[in-house]
Amino acid sequence: MSSIFDILGPVMVGPSSSHTAGAVRIGLVSRILLEDQPVFADIQFSGSFAATHKGHGTDSAIIAGLLGMKSDDIRIPRSQEIAVEKGLKFFISNNEIPGAHPNTALLSLQGKEGRKICIQASSVGGGRIMINKIDGIDVNCPAEMPTLIVHNSDEPGHVAAVTSLLFYNKINIAQMQLFRNERGGYAVMVIESDQQIPSQIISSIEKFPGIIKVTYINPSMD
């Protein structure tokens, strides 16, 4: 059964849920994944994003999200000007990504504290998005449920340690995906849960041996 949201789309500023609302959310979730205030952004558009981003305001929408704005923020059309005022340097270009969704953006970000991340994401309609890759590794994460993204060395025991901790804390796993760049290399767990994950659990996971980085996406916060 379709919801009102499915029929009408999100409340937003801009002409298109895919090119504006979805783009804002790509920027916002990318800011969350960076875990830092962005000070540099290299934004590359692919497919229809590349063809229409100026006319549809997709470039301003992505930057608005990076600044922490939501899709209904009236400042979105001025986001590029605001970014300059806040010290966010950005570069926008087109780059066709083979096999990517038509509405795809590739963001290389650097934060105020020196953190860096590269995110490939697509806007799939109705303001919804899909995080396709993080630092070159497939993740295919819609970021619609509480989502734990754990970066770790590809060694035995990490999955068991994380899932056991969630079990003991009565956190139910709705979906889990595992990715790696190569055997024995760099791996990523993407865990979607039915409940919010408390910060103390995230801190405990960060202390496990072999864990490189832990990021948490809380949809109620973004």
Residues 19-76: pLDDT tens digits?
A: 689 999 999 999 999 989 999 999 999 998 988 877 778 999 999 999 999 988 999 9
pLDDT for 155 beyond 60: yes
pLDDT for 84 beyond 50: yes
Q: CA 45, CA 53: separation in Å to the nearest integer?
A: 8
Please give the span between the terminal C-alpha atoms of the chain, in angstroms, as a whole number.
25
pLDDT for 142 beyond 60: yes
Give 14's pLDDT tier (boundaries 50, 70, 90). Answer: very low
Q: What is the CATH architecture assignment of 147-217?
A: 2-Layer Sandwich (3.30)
pLDDT digits (tens, 9 = 90+) for 187-212: 999 999 999 999 999 999 999 999 99
CATH, domain 4-135, list 3.60.20.10, 3.40.50.300, 3.20.20.370, 3.30.1330.90: 3.30.1330.90
pLDDT of residue 116: 94
Contact call for residues 180 and 154 (beta carbons, < 8 A): yes
Across residues 8-16, what is the average pLDDT?
47
pLDDT for 115 beyond 80: yes
Burial class (CB in 10 A: 0-12, 13-18, 19+), 4: exposed
pLDDT for 16 beyond 70: no
pTM: 0.81
Reported as half-sphere exposure (CB side, CA atoms, 13 A), residue 185 has a value of: 8
Interacting residues of 71 by C-beta distance below 8 A, sequence separation 6+? 10, 11, 12, 13, 14, 20, 21, 24, 25, 61, 127
pLDDT of residue 48: 87
Report the percent of the chain where pLDDT is more than 70. 90
Across residues 69-94, what is the average pLDDT?
94
What CA–CA distances, in Å, run from 98 to 22, 120, 154, 162?
A: 21, 12, 27, 34
Across residues 179-188, what is the average pLDDT?
88
- Domain extent listing, the chain: 4-135, 147-217
